[in-house]
Every structure is written in C-alpha cells, then in structure tokens.
Amino acid sequence: MATTNPDGHFPTRGPVVMCVSAATLVLCSLFVGFRLVSRFMVVRKTGWDDYTMIAAWLLAFGASFSICYGTTKGLGRRQENMPPEWQQPMKQSAYVFSVLYNPALMATKTSILLFYLTLSKTQKVFRWATIATLLVVNIGGLALTILNILQCRPVSAAWFSPVPDSAHCTNIVTIYLSSAPLNIITDVAILFLPMPILTSMHLPKKQKIILVITFGFGIFVAAVDVIRIAYLQDAQRDTLQAAQARTSESGNEQRNNGDFAWYASLSFMWSAVEINLGIMCGCVPALKPLVRRFLPSWIIDHTMRDPTARTSDETVLHPEILGSRRRSDLLIPPASPLSKPYPARDSGGDGSMGMMDFLTTPDMNEMPQLRPSNTVVTYATTTLTRRQSMTFFDFVNMGQKKNITLRSNRESVYPVIMVTILFFVWGFAYGFLDVLNSRFQEVARMSDWQTVGQHSAYYAGYIIGPLTFGRIVFKTWGFKACYMVGLSVYACGTLIFWPSAVLNSFPAFLVSNFITGAGLSTLELSANPFIALCGPPEYAEARLNLSQAVQAIGTIVSPLLAKKVLFPANAASLIDVQWTYLGISFFNIALAIIYFYVPLPEATDEELEIASQRTVPHAREATINIGSKPVKVLWIGLGMATFSQFCYVGGQEATSTSYNGYINRVMPSTDYVSQQAYGHTAFAVSRFLAAVADIWVKPRFSLLFFYLSAIAFAVAAMHATGSAGAAIITMVMFFEGPIFPQIFAQGIRGMGRHTKDASVIITAAIGGGGVFPPIMYAALKIHNSQYAFCVIVAAFAGGALYPLWLNALPATRRLSDPVRDEHTRRESEDEERRQESADDKKTKRWSNIKKRLSWNKDDDKLPSVEHRERRSWPQGLAPSGESMAIEPVRTRTPSFSNNSSGR
C-alpha cells in the first residue's frame, strides 16, 4: 500500500492514508447527519446515546484530521526521505491522534451500550452485563488515554526532534499494542451482548434481516482492529529481537532513529477506519424512522397482518385473539395475587417510543394499543406454562427437561459428549500455556524462579475463581452458565497475554496466567460434577475418567504441535504465539455463544438432594465421635477429599515441571519433548483403563491402588538412572492419571443439596498445583532433580490418606461405594418401553398409510377381506343373507378370487 512520490525518487504511503481516512470520515459524517435528522426531526425524541454519538463524531473528526494533516508533513515516508523541518509537526499530529483515539472509541462504544440499555428493561442479566461492559470501556479507555497523554516526560518531548537525553519516552508501538486486548474484548462483547434477545424475538422476515444486518456490522470493527494490530506487530518484531539479543532500544532511540512515520502510517489509517466504521455501525439502528419515511418498502413486510415484535419477556397471541374486543369481557378471569398482568407495549406515559419499538414496529408514529382477552382455558394454560417453565438467563427455556440425576445411560450420551468437548479444550489450552511459559522465558531472558512464579499464578486463579465469582454463577444459574462464563474469562486471559508479551512485562504475564486459571477453573467447577452426575450413579467414576482421558489427549497434542511445529524459541515465534492466542480467544468466545444455544440438562439443589436420598439415605447420616461431639462422616470425607486433591495436583504438577530436569540428569541424550509425550500418553491411557475397571472394581480400591503405585514408582525414580529412570517417571505419570477423577467423583457422592458447594471446594483444592512445584524446585536447587522427587513422594503420601479413610470404616465404605438408583432405572426402562411402543405404533401407522397410498391396488387384498369375513362365522352358521351378499361380489370380480386362491 505504497505509492511513488511524484518526483519518482522514493515510495510513500501518505496519499493512500489520506484518501482512506478522509473517505471514511465523510461516510461517517453522512451517517451521523442522517441519525440526527431521524432522531431530531422525524421522531423528535433524543437520548443520551445521541449526544454521546455527537461527541464521538467530534473526536473522530479531530483524529482523522490529524492523520490527514500528518500525511502532508511526512507521515507515510521513510526517515531519510523526510525534511528535518517536518519532523516536529508530523510528531505533533501523531501525538494528537494518539490522545484522541481512545476517547473516540470510548464515546462510540458508550453510545452503543446506552442504546442497549433501552432494548429490554426486564432482562436483568443483559442489563448488568451491559453496565459491566460500559464500565470496562470507560475505565480502561480512560487509563489508556492517560497513558497516551503521558507517553513522554515531559509531555512536550513527544514532538521534539530529536528527543533530548533529559527526557524519557515510551516506545509508541508498545503503547498502541497494549490497548489491543481491551479493544477486542469490548468489540466482541458489544457484538454478542444483544444476540440472546434478538434471537428470542418473533419478527417479520424483513425486520429480522434488518436487525441481523444492524447488529452484525460490529464484526467489521473487530476485523479492522485485528488488521491494525497486524501492522503494529511488524514494527514490534525489532523490539523483541533486541530483547532476545540482550540489547535495548529505548523509546527515545525509537523516535529519533526508527522509521516510525513509515510503519505507523498504515496503523493510523486503520485506526481511523476503526473509529469511523464504529460510528457508522452505531448510527444504523437510529436510521429506521428515516428509511420508514422515504423507503417504507425496505422495512415493512406487507404479508404479515400483525408484525408486532415480541421479546422473550412478552406474550405472543394470535391476531384473531388480539382482535377479540368483540368478545365479552366476562371471559377474562379475575385478577389473582399470584399472577401479574402482562406488560403493555407502551413506551412511557409521555407517549414517546422506546428503542425496541423504534427498531421493530412498522408504524413509527404510534404503537398498536391491543387489548388481548383470554378465555378461562387459555388463561389457565398460559399461567400453568409460565409457572412450570424455568428460564435460563431469561432467554432460553430450560423447562420440562429431565434433570441430570434422572438420566439413563442412553439419555446421558449427548450431554456428556457436549461437555467432554470442554475437557479437550482446557487440556489443549494447558499444553499451550506450558509451552508459552517456556518460550516467554527463553525470549525475554526470565529466570527459573520467574517461570515457577508464572506457573503458581495460574493455579492461584484456580483458588480464587471458584471461591468468588465461580460459586456465584454456579449456585445462581447452574452448570451451563459456568461453561459460558469460564470460556469468556479464559478468552480474556489469553488476550491479556498480548500486552504482557508486548511490554515484556513479568507482572503483566502473571496477570494473564492468573485470569486464564480463573477461567478454566470455572469451567472445571461445573464440568466435573456434571459428568459425574449425568447418568446412572454407579458409573460416575467411569464417565469422569473417560472425559478426563479426552482432556489428557489434548494435553498430548498441544505441546507437540507447539514445540515441534509452531513456536521455536525466537522473537518472531513469540509474535506467532500472540496471534495463536488471539485465535484461541475468538474460538472460546464462539464456543461460549454456541453453548448458550446447546440444550443441556440442569439440576437444582433440591433435585440433587432427592437423588442422594434415593441412593445413600442412611450412609449420609452416619457419624463418628470426635471428642464428645458427633461429626458426620460426610463432612470428614469432604475435608479428606479436598486435602487429597490438593496434594495430588501438587504432586502431579511437580512431576510435570521437573520432567525436563529429571530426564536431562538420568538420560541426557533423550529428546525431552518426545519423552514427555510418552508420559502424557501413559497418563491418558491409564484413565481409559481405569474407566473400564471402575465398572467392575469398587472405586475406593482402584484409587488406593493407583496412589500406592504412584508412590512406589516415585520412590524408585529417586534412585534409577539411564533408560530405567526414563521408564520409571513414565510409570509415575501412568499411575497419576486416574487419581483426579476418582477423588472428585467420590468426594461429591452423597452430598445432596451441598453438591455444588462441595464441587467448589474440591476445585479450589486444585490450587495445590501452585504450591508444590516451588518446593520441589527449591529441593532441586539444593540437591538435584532425583532427590527432589521426595517432595512428590510426600505429596502422594498425604493424598493417599483419603482412600485409606474410605476403606477404613463401614460407614465410609457405604458412603463411597456406588449404589444403583433402582427407582430411576425402573422409570427409565418404563419410559424406553413406552417410547418403543410409540415408535412401533408410528411404524405401523406409517405402514398402513403407505398401503393406502400404494399404486398397486389391483392385487389380492379384496378377496382376502371377503374370505376372512365369510369365515369369521362358524361353519354352517353364517347367515344366508351374508352369503347371498358376498356371492354376487365374487361373481363380479372373478379375477380377484383367482388371485386369492393362487396364494
């Protein structure tokens, strides 16, 4: 995108940058002008979103004008092709643009979000999510604006040429790239926030198309932001390569000696496009009255008798019912204190029009004032339906679904498969995260202790996430809400890696790891109990082992892909890692949206309590005396399971983080990456084998067996060398595999209404993975990697107390052993028989229909009927009248009788 200067001596990007920036500004101005005409002159009603959009346009005008002015002073040229006297005005225009960029985006997004708040006043989750996004947009935008204003100390040094040695300036490319995650996160949030409401609306075809186009334009803004970042990344490669070579390029040197005007010009251009396109997208919904006035055929569907829109919190009535004023009002049932009247589609006492009406109704001047009257039957039916149905996030009806504790093996296959996909996602993510840590350490020259700190920050997220927002989401909205929230938080964590890598900042990278851990822990918080509870309880351990085995497969694939193919240790590869994590982030957001619409069963605390009462009613009440006070075995078991999970994950992570050092000590010639792949493969295989074994072997036995075996091989690893040592550490990973799902499934068994809280506590215990690796690393530094395996032995020994407890007492054995839910099993079998009977009836009915519609009606069917009718009487007792009636028929159709006798 460069042109040749008219004198033909050097290339320049200035003309392209000026033309594109000016053209998008003109289009943006037209959209804002049409919006003002629509709101001020046609509708004659304005709001804060209109005034905010005007402010956004003023800021966009200033930003675009500064770019166009900068192109006349050398923006888009190489350093050597720019006259010295142009340096200062060019840098002044760049400074003005950098200061106006974030406020322009803030104002645009604020206007759109204020408009969102008018879409539905009854959707509380949507409103709070919009308000949260509004806060993020403005707080983050304000912080970035201050950062841009203070990019140099003193501020005036930002446009000095050259920058004096007494001043200090930040690398301008670094500042621009640091804002990338915030812009992408808020762009995606604004794009998808209204989708649940829009997809639940009942609209005419044309209006649905208009809404899809209106709210789908935001994807172009996110795409433009990604293009802008791509140009900035090219400039950032030099900074990363300098860091890897242990050299530095300060912000002063970059401004004095670099080709900033050349490589930043296209980024500025795409930034202007992003601002102007965002304003255009924000203005599109407000243009509907203007289009209605001058081009009504574009938006009105004349085939619909009553195109009145409905959101998910309103009632849909047939047009004939809506026109029932002719009917008697006596049919309207009396008001009940248990029911509330449906809200009328009135926008306010002043007669003004709400934004949802503004978007969806064909007549912009007045709303249809319809008075639906219900008969007794329709009223009772509607009320009963509203009371029985349970809504999820007020959008998707989750009523009338069999809860997860009542599902047979066949009924649980689909939901278990859908949730197992999430297991693979976070297994794959963990493998990438491990590689990312190592690559970041190599490129940024970080110490080993800093790498251990990054690992611990990830597991700190596992402690904080479930105990804070994860528990609130799980208890309030259930399993599926945790999947969506977890995927969204995980996406934010991967995006925040971007500024941490750009800034080469260890604290920022700790934040990225922490948020990623908090997101994945929220996923795991609900996914593990979902798999354990969804289906017959006797197969809980088997199901969870299978799903966790799929997760282990992701852990095998991602490190091999990352280390062997994608990310060699150099500065360019770290930028590739950033793009990879951007892709992962978008994938997670898309997955969260998909799971919103995937029908998955739920279970309330009351349903979980009933399920426990059906299976282990007496074992749950067993107590033992501690001192003089009886304590339930159930609570002691939960505490033991939590401690065991804490120790196990700590030992597992200590093994994983020390794997490289151990292999290099016992067998230096071995390829570490390939050898660790063998260990991960053994880890996954053991879970598949344990899933099969748990069908016949009591889980408390297998848990004890795997714990003791892992301890034995960890002790052996302290003394083995050569290929024997490599094989032994692989066996340690083999016996580690099934321990986690066994602890989790048995830890929540019998918890009843406290199952979700138990899941929260056991998931938080995974934070042990951030405690034991630093201890092992200290032992490795003091002695060696073989000696350090004593930490793993101690961790597994502490965790093994739980299976010993489960096998010690009759009460603990009764609570731990899976019990068939005979009541649910009988109901499922009866339901399957009814379903099979219904399917048989449908098959027979379809067969009869096909026979009736068959073209081959000249065969042997009529004689057979006659023959059966005649022989239905005992021989010699048939009435004479019937014989006389049948005989003429046989005479008239002799060919049929011949065919019948031929059979």
Q: Return the axis-axis angle of helices 633-657 and 722-736, rounded to nearest 10°.
A: 150
pLDDT of residue 187 exceeding 50: yes
Whether the Cβ atoms of residue 663 and residue 726 lie closer than 8 Å to each other? yes
Looking at per-residue pLDDT, the higher value among 401 and 888 belongs to 401
pLDDT of residue 204: 65
How far is Cα 263 from Cα 173, in angstroms, rounded to an integer? Answer: 10
Q: What is the mean pLDDT of residues 617-623?
A: 83
| CA nearest neighbour of 708 among 729, 683, 682, 736 | 736
Q: What pairs with residue 391 in β-bridges?
A: 397
3-state secondary structure 759-802: HHHHHHHHHHHHCHHHHHHHHHHHCCCCCCHHHHHHHHHHHCHH
Q: Name the E strands within 159-201.
A: 168-169
Instruction: Give residue-wise pLDDT tens across range 714-741.
Output: 999 998 888 899 999 999 999 999 999 9
The reply to whether omega before 559 is within 30° of 0 (cis) is no
Residue 324 DSSP class: G
Q: Which of 331-335, 415-419, 468-472 has the lowest mean pLDDT?
A: 331-335
The gap between the terminal CA atoms of the chain, to the nearest Å, is 85
pLDDT of residue 601 exceeding 80: yes
pLDDT of residue 293: 74
Instruction: Give residue-wise pLDDT tens across range 627-683.
Output: 778 899 999 999 999 999 999 999 999 998 888 889 888 888 777 777 888 888 999
Instruction: Give residue-wise pLDDT tens across range 486-529.
Output: 999 998 888 887 777 666 677 888 888 899 899 999 999 999 99
| CA nearest neighbour of 642 among 514, 757, 497 | 757
Looking at per-residue pLDDT, the higher value among 531 and 197 belongs to 531
pLDDT of residue 152: 84
**What are the Cα distances from residue 820, in Å, to 535, 537, 873?**
11, 6, 54
Whether the Cβ atoms of residue 141 and residue 134 lie closer than 8 Å to each other? no
How far is Cα 237 from Cα 170, in angstroms, rounded to an integer? Answer: 16
pLDDT of residue 629: 85
Name the helix (H) or strand (E) containing 202.
none
Which residues, 6 or more positions from 84, have their beta carbon under 8 angstroms from its beta carbon? Answer: 161
**What are the Cα distances from residue 416, in Å, to 541, 595, 746?**
13, 13, 18
Output the pTM of the full model.
Answer: 0.75
Domains of the chain: 13-241+261-295 (1.20.1070), 409-829 (1.20.1250.20)
Length of the chain: 903
Strand 11-12 and strand 152-153: the pairing is unpaired
Q: Classify residue 783 as exposed, middle or buried by CB count within 10 Å of its CB (0-12, 13-18, 19+).
A: exposed
DSSP 635-688: HHHHHHHHHHHHHHHHHHHHHHHTHHHHHHHH-TTS-HHHHHHHHHHHHHHHHH
Q: Name the E strands within 234-364.
A: none
Structure tokens at 470: 């994860």
Per-residue confidence at 84, pLDDT binned at 50, 70, 90?
confident
Per-residue confidence at 413, pLDDT binned at 50, 70, 90?
very high
Which residues, 6 or more positions from 98, have their beta carbon under 8 angstroms from its beta carbon? Answer: 148, 151, 172, 175, 176
Per-residue confidence at 351, pLDDT binned at 50, 70, 90?
very low
Whether the Cβ atoms of residue 796 and residue 648 lie closer than 8 Å to each other? yes
How far is Cα 789 from Cα 779, in angstroms, rounded to an integer? Answer: 9
Q: Which of 25-39, 207-221, 472-486 has the lowest mean pLDDT?
A: 207-221
Number of CB atoms found within 10 A of residue 295's CB: 10
Of all residues in the chain, the percent with pLDDT exceeding 70 is 70
Whether the Cβ atoms of residue 553 and residue 424 lie closer than 8 Å to each other? yes
Whether the Cβ atoms of residue 886 and residue 870 lie closer than 8 Å to each other? yes
Q: Return the axis-axis angle of helices 633-657 and 772-782, rounded to nearest 10°.
A: 40
Name the helix (H) or strand (E) containing 4.
strand 3-4
Whether the Cβ atoms of residue 117 and residue 355 lie closer than 8 Å to each other? no
How far is Cα 250 from Cα 172, in angstroms, rounded to an integer? Answer: 10
Of all residues in the chain, the percent with pLDDT exceeding 90 is 31
pLDDT of residue 340 exceeding 80: no
Q: What pairs with residue 3 in β-bridges?
A: 12
Q: Return the axis-axis angle of helices 672-693 and 540-561, rounded to nearest 10°.
A: 170
Number of CB atoms found within 10 A of residue 395's CB: 20
The pair phi, psi for residue 74, each rounded to 5°, is 105, -5
> For 503-523, b where at least 16 C-beta lie within 10 A, e where not — what string?
bbbbebbbbbbbbbbbbbbbb
pLDDT of residue 31 exceeding 60: yes
Cα angle 233, 14, 159 (rounded to 5 degrees) comes to 70
Q: What is the mean pLDDT of residues 50-73?
A: 93
Which residues, 6 or more positions from 592, have their beta carbon under 8 angstroms from its beta carbon? Answer: 483, 484, 487, 488, 491
pLDDT of residue 896: 38
pLDDT of residue 238: 55
Output Rg (C-alpha) for the chain, integer angstroms: 35
Per-residue confidence at 709, pLDDT binned at 50, 70, 90?
very high
Q: What pairs with residue 169 in β-bridges?
A: 152
Whether the Cβ atoms of residue 230 and residue 271 lie closer than 8 Å to each other? no
How far is Cα 446 from Cα 453, in angstroms, rounded to an integer? Answer: 11
How far is Cα 285 from Cα 113, in angstroms, rounded to an integer? Answer: 13
Long-range contacts of 690-693 (CB under 8 A, 24+ apart): 690/541, 690/545, 690/737, 690/738, 690/741, 690/742, 691/541, 691/542, 691/543, 691/545, 691/546, 691/549, 691/738, 692/542
Q: Classify residue 655 as exposed, middle or buried by CB count within 10 Å of its CB (0-12, 13-18, 19+).
A: buried
| CA nearest neighbour of 796 among 736, 743, 744 | 736
Q: What is the mean pLDDT of residues 166-174?
A: 75
pLDDT of residue 755: 96
Looking at per-residue pLDDT, the higher value among 525 and 897 belongs to 525
pLDDT of residue 558: 76
**Cα dihedral 162, 166, 168, 171 sign:** positive
Q: What pairs with residue 408 in β-bridges?
A: none
pLDDT of residue 436: 67
How far is Cα 367 from Cα 307, in angstroms, rounded to an integer? Answer: 12
How far is Cα 250 from Cα 95, in angstroms, rounded to an integer? Answer: 18
Whether the Cβ atoms of residue 163 and residue 260 lie closer than 8 Å to each other? no
Q: Return the axis-axis angle of helices 633-657 and 699-717, rounded to nearest 10°.
A: 30
DSSP 37-104: IIIIIII----HHHHHHHHHHHHHHHHHHHHHHHHTTTTTS-GGGS-GGGHHHHHHHHHHHHHHHHHH
Structure tokens at 424: 């693979």
Whether the Cβ atoms of residue 267 and residue 231 lie closer than 8 Å to each other? yes
Q: Classify residue 294 as exposed, middle or buried by CB count within 10 Å of its CB (0-12, 13-18, 19+).
A: exposed
Name the helix (H) or strand (E) containing 630.
strand 629-632
The pair phi, psi for residue 788, each rounded to 5°, is -65, -15
**What are the Cα distances from residue 706, in Å, to 656, 681, 711, 737, 812?**
18, 17, 9, 8, 19
Q: What pairs with residue 623 in β-bridges?
A: 632
The pair phi, psi for residue 397, each rounded to 5°, is -75, 120
Q: What pairs with residue 478 in β-bridges?
A: none
pLDDT of residue 311: 42
pLDDT of residue 235: 61
Whether the Cβ atoms of residue 650 and residue 768 lie closer than 8 Å to each other? yes
pLDDT of residue 889 exceeding 80: no
Number of CB atoms found within 10 A of residue 699's CB: 27
Q: What pairs with residue 11 in β-bridges?
A: 4
